[in-house]
Amino acid sequence: MDERTPKKRSHPEDDFTTDVPSPRKAPKESFWPSKRRLEMLDVRTPTTLTTLKPSEKVREIKVRVVGKRQRQNLLEFTVMDQSGQRTMKALNRATWNQFRTLEIDTVYKVSNFTVNAGWNGGNPEISLGPYSHFEGISDKDFPPMPPFNFTPLKDLSSLPDDTRVDVLGIVTKVKDVVNNSVTGVQRLEIYIDDDISKCDLSVIFWRDDASSFAGMKPFIPIIFRDAVKLTYCDEPTLHVKSFTQIWENSSNADARDLYERFEKAALEEGVELIEADEHAGESANE
């Protein structure tokens, strides 16, 4: 080689064996996680129902199931934790069987779910899918199910319309579902009594609830939480709304006591009531 030909100088980086990236190349992954990653990895503050936001990715959450009802197109649960209550829905019928066994007043650890915006700007809702998982856990240090504040049926007439009430009664009559020929809206009417007074109160179910509860049997205890009192033809009635929670054949102590009183009165009259365990419903223990 000609001595006048300059040697090819090596790059300064060739003299080092460290893993420090070249300043001319962006590192594949920064040593410090981004703010978003920090938020996702931060486990110091437990996720609660009221802090859930639509499209937020949450690994798991702990809730107590306080209500369950099946509509025509969905299976719906009301759940609660220390922060408040929210709705949990399963829209896919193929997934219903895996959720039917969830028990009222039981605490679960829920994983693999999504959070969607509430209807008409309401609270966010939890959507369950085929990979959603429930694991029963201890309810130690977890808030108990809210107690019922039952309103006697005889006192409903003194309440203003649109008042939400908790009511306990025995189903005495179930009418057939009626379809409105103009609007197509379904309507189911049942009658309940809470004092063996033969003064039955009308309870109205609408739309999907009408078809879901059409097979209800008479002479079983039933509990309504947040049913709405309305006056119709100068008589008080109860209306089941989307937020109303319902327990058929509840094992609640007051419900059992009411059933036993009805059963005793019926036996004295020579009428045999249907055994409660033949129509097992949801428990609502206090």
Whether the Cβ atoms of residue 129 and residue 114 lie closer than 8 Å to each other:
yes
Candidate from 104-113, 167-176, 223-232, 261-270 with smallest mean pLDDT: 261-270
Percent over 90 (pLDDT), the chain: 14
Candidate from 138-147, 157-166, 185-194 with smallest mean pLDDT: 138-147
Percent over 70 (pLDDT), the chain: 73
Distance from C-alpha of 247 to C-alpha of 221, rounded to nearest angstrom: 8
For 31-53, how does the pLDDT look when each residue is reduced to its tens digit (9 = 90+)? 444 545 544 544 445 678 888 88
What average pLDDT does the structure give for the chain? 76
Distance from C-alpha of 16 to C-alpha of 2, rounded to nearest angstrom: 30
Report the alpha-carbon angle 174-215-154, nearest 5: 35
- Please name each of the domains of the chain with its CATH number: 47-136 (2.40.50.140), 153-277 (2.40.50.140)
Write the secondary structure of 220-247 as one string of H (helix), E (strand) and C (coil).
Answer: CEEEEEEEEEEEECCEEEEECCCCCEEE
> Is residue 188 scored above 70 in pLDDT?
yes
Query: What's the confidence (pLDDT) of residue 280?
Result: 38
Highest mean pLDDT among 101-115, 225-239, 262-276: 225-239
> In this structure, which amino acid lies at residue 136?
G
For 93-118, how does the pLDDT look when each residue is reduced to its tens digit (9 = 90+)? 666 777 877 888 889 998 888 888 87
Mean pLDDT of 152-171: 92
Query: What's the confidence (pLDDT) of residue 228?
Result: 95
Q: 237 - beta bridge partners?
A: 202, 230
Distance from C-alpha of 221 to C-alpha of 276, rounded to nearest angstrom: 8
Tokens of 156: 């409903």
Distance from C-alpha of 65 to C-alpha of 77, rounded to nearest angstrom: 7
Query: What's the confidence (pLDDT) of residue 168?
Result: 92
Query: What's the confidence (pLDDT) of residue 229?
Result: 95
Whether the Cβ atoms of residue 111 and residue 133 lie closer than 8 Å to each other:
yes
> Is residue 16 scored above 80 in pLDDT?
no
pTM of the model: 0.63
Alpha-carbon separation of residue 32 from 18, 42, 44 (angstroms): 19, 14, 19
